[in-house]
């Protein structure tokens, strides 16, 4: 169960780093300002912070110096200097170096570089950032600086790289692109390449915008034809277009037009492709890429009449990703001969994965080769994974948790407890700055070794910081420390609303663990909020049905409200799908309408494992498997009888 959580945590960390200056410097009322039970020192902190915001140095400079030993002094120090930026680099370096052990350091650097770029202080910009920054906003300043400081090769190569994106760029990049254009290095070919990228993600309005920047008639005429194909791609398969004299530009249109047609009419796309290949109009590299894409689309749509094409392709061009899709197609049809064939065509590495070893055992069972099947099932049943739990239940064995605790290093624990970072996090929690506390924690983890992260996980566990414990345990790769990876956080809320809505408490805990890792302030890219990641619309509808006074999205950050609404919504799904958790969990992730469509496609011909394996969305497939696995762990922690599937779930058809 080594998840991709580390990668997602790093992405979230970078996003948070971008927004914290807004959180810290915002002039509006922060939720922490509403706390009334403050110490004198905490009250002084808020007084000084407010004076800095209103730019009244006479009211705070003397107090600021007196607060140097207060844990959150670096935040006041940061705010003061950001609002009064040093005029020279040495002054900035003195200021920023004092923040190096805090997440304020990269923020100060970002802020100062933006300031230097805004005022075109290019020499100083490059002195602070001699290497290309990672942030797009700063990259554009960086390449402008290189151009002004006599390094046009670096500048225009960078501009070209930034240009080739299908999305609009921010103002600083537009200025860079204008300078690149005036230098004579940007060509109509660059504009054309960007138009094709926009075509690829269906951004017709952006194609129109870019068309206006073209200079030469050849490209302008091609742009008109490109927009025509964008709206009516099937014309590339008709005689008038097929028989025209083709140029490199029209071949580009064919490539992207075929890809667009493949989404709506695969058969027509393939026939058109074959016509162009027969006339040797498509370059071999482009032909190979578009044909592979078409084969992928066949596997996704499972168009039976096109199956011979994809089977022939996979024999000549083996790919684990595509063969796994072909295997799911065979599982969907319960074609065991095909399952046996395609299992052998996986790479050795893929064949040895628990997933495909399990399906090999199922193949042996279907072919009455029970000894071989038993041997595989017994081996997988020793592993703590979804397939390990499946095999353990089938063989009526105990679920293998294989837990191992982390031993505390007393010296390391004392060092953590006495550290400035730990004191800042504690104080931020006390004042209600949960987001800033998490940013501090992520920065600390980022700059710690694997061993240090393990001790940090112990520290967070002792402090009852469940989300921090999970983050540290995963980044510390403490895979066997299940008490850290699966804490019993907000247990009273889960137990209360599990009882109220007649759903198993372990289901709710497993959903929250998978959805948010118990981060009560979690927000997904699509807007799901809180512990159980509830969409605001769902929350409003569920709250109205329950008679809960729903005041707005912020209410979903309250654990009690979130668990109340989330458990009620889960019960609603369980009831809608006749007490079947497989359908309910898939619906929780992908929505009930999709699950109804998948049920219609499976037509009641699949067993539970075949249905789960053939869920079309990888995210939903892995979500269902994860929650079911986490559920077993929480059942054991709650001292309930552990069960991956109920008898009814195992015996019914899907």
Q: Which residue numbers are catalytic? A: 515
Q: How far apart are CA 115 and CA 109, in angstroms?
A: 10
DSSP letter at 579? Answer: T
Backbone φ and ψ for 84, nearest 5 degrees, come out as: -135, 65
First to last CA, the chain: 26
Q: How far apart are CA 503 and CA 498, in angstroms?
A: 5
Is 282 in contact with 254 (CB distance < 8 Å)? Answer: yes
Q: Provide the β-strand partners of residue 534.
A: 529
Helices 354-366 and 386-394 cross at an angle (nearest 10°) of 30
Please report the DSSP string for 171-210 in residue order.
Answer: HHHHHHHHHHHHTT---HHHHHHHHHHHHHTT-HHHHHHH
Structure tokens at 85: 């930026």
Rounded to 5°, the CA angle 555-560-566 comes to 80
- Name, in order, each residue with C-beta under 8 angstroms of 109's C-beta and a sequence gap of 6 or more: 96, 128, 129
Q: How far apart are CA 517 and CA 524, in angstroms?
A: 12
SS3 sequence of 440-483: HHHHHHHCCCHHHHHHHHHHHHHCCCHHHHHHHHHHCCCCCCHH
Length of the chain, please? 654
């Amino acid at each position: 169960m080594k998840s991709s959580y580390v990668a997602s945590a790093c992405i979230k960390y970078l996003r948070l780093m971008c927004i914290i200056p807004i959180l810290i410097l915002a002039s509006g009322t922060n939720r922490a300002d509403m706390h009334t039970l403050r110490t004198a020192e905490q009250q002084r902190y808020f007084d000084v912070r407010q004076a800095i915001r209103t730019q009244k140095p006479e009211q705070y400079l003397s107090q600021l110096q007196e607060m140097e030993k207060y844990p959150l002094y670096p935040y006041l120090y940061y705010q003061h200097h950001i609002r009064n930026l040093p005029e020279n680099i040495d002054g900035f370096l003195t200021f920023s170096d004092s923040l190096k052990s805090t997440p304020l350091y990269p923020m100060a650097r970002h802020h100062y570089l933006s300031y230097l770029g805004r005022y075109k202080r290019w020499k100083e910009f490059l002195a602070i950032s001699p290497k290309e920054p990672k942030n797009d906003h700063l990259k554009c300043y960086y390449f402008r600086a290189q151009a002004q400081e006599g390094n046009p090769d670096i500048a225009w190569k960078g501009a070209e790289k930034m240009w080739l994106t299908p999305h609009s760029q921010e103002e600083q990049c537009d200025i860079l692109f204008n300078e690149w254009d005036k230098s004579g290095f940007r060509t109509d070919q660059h504009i054309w390449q960007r138009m094709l990228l926009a075509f690829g993600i269906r951004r017709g309005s952006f194609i129109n915008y870019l068309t206006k920047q073209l200079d030469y008639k050849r490209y302008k005429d091609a742009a008109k034809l490109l927009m025509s194909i964008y709206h009516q791609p099937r014309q590339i398969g008709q005689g008038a277009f097929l028989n025209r004299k083709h140029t490199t530009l029209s071949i580009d249109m064919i490539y992207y037009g075929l890809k667009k047609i493949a989404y709506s009419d695969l058969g027509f796309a393939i026939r058109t492709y074959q016509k162009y290949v027969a006339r040797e109009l498509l370059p071999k590299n482009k032909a190979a890429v578009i044909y592979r894409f078409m084969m992928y689309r066949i596997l996704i749509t499972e168009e039976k009449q096109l199956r011979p094409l994809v089977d022939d392709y996979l024999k000549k061009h083996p790919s684990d990703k595509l063969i796994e899709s072909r295997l799911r197609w065979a599982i969907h049809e319960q074609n065991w001969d095909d399952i046996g064939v395609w299992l052998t065509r996986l790479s050795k590495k893929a064949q040895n994965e628990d997933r495909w070893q399990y399906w090999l055992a199922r193949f042996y069972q279907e072919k009455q080769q029970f000894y071989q099947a038993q041997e595989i099932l017994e081996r997988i049943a020793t592993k703590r994974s979804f397939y390990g739990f499946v095999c353990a239940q089938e063989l009526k064995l105990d679920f293998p948790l294989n837990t191992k605790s982390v031993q505390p290093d007393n010296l390391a624990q004392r060092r953590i407890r006495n550290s400035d970072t730990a004191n800042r996090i504690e104080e931020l929690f006390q004042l209600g700055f949960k987001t800033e506390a998490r940013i501090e924690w992520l920065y600390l983890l980022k700059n710690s070794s694997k061993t240090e992260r393990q001790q940090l996980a112990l520290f967070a566990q002792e402090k009852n910081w469940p989300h921090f414990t999970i983050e540290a345990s995963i980044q510390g790769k403490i895979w066997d420390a299940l008490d850290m990876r699966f804490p019993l956080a907000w247990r009273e809320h889960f137990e209360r609303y599990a009882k109220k809505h007649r759903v198993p408490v372990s289901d709710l805990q497993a959903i929250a663990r998978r959805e948010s890792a118990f981060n009560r302030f979690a927000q997904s890219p699509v807007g799901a909020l809180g512990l159980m990641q509830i969409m605001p619309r769902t929350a409003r509808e569920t709250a109205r049905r329950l008679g809960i006074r729903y005041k707005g999205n912020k209410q979903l950050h309250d654990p009690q409200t979130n668990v109340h609404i989330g458990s009620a919504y889960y019960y609603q799904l369980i009831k809608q799908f006749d007490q079947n958790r497989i359908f309910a969990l898939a619906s929780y992730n992908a929505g009930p309408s999709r699950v109804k469509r998948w049920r219609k496609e499976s037509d009641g011909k699949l067993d539970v494992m075949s249905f789960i394996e053939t869920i079309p969305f990888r995210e939903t497939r892995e979500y269902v498997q994860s929650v079911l696995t986490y559920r077993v762990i929480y059942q054991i922690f709650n001292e309930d009888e552990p069960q991956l599937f109920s008898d009814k779930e195992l015996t019914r058809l899907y």
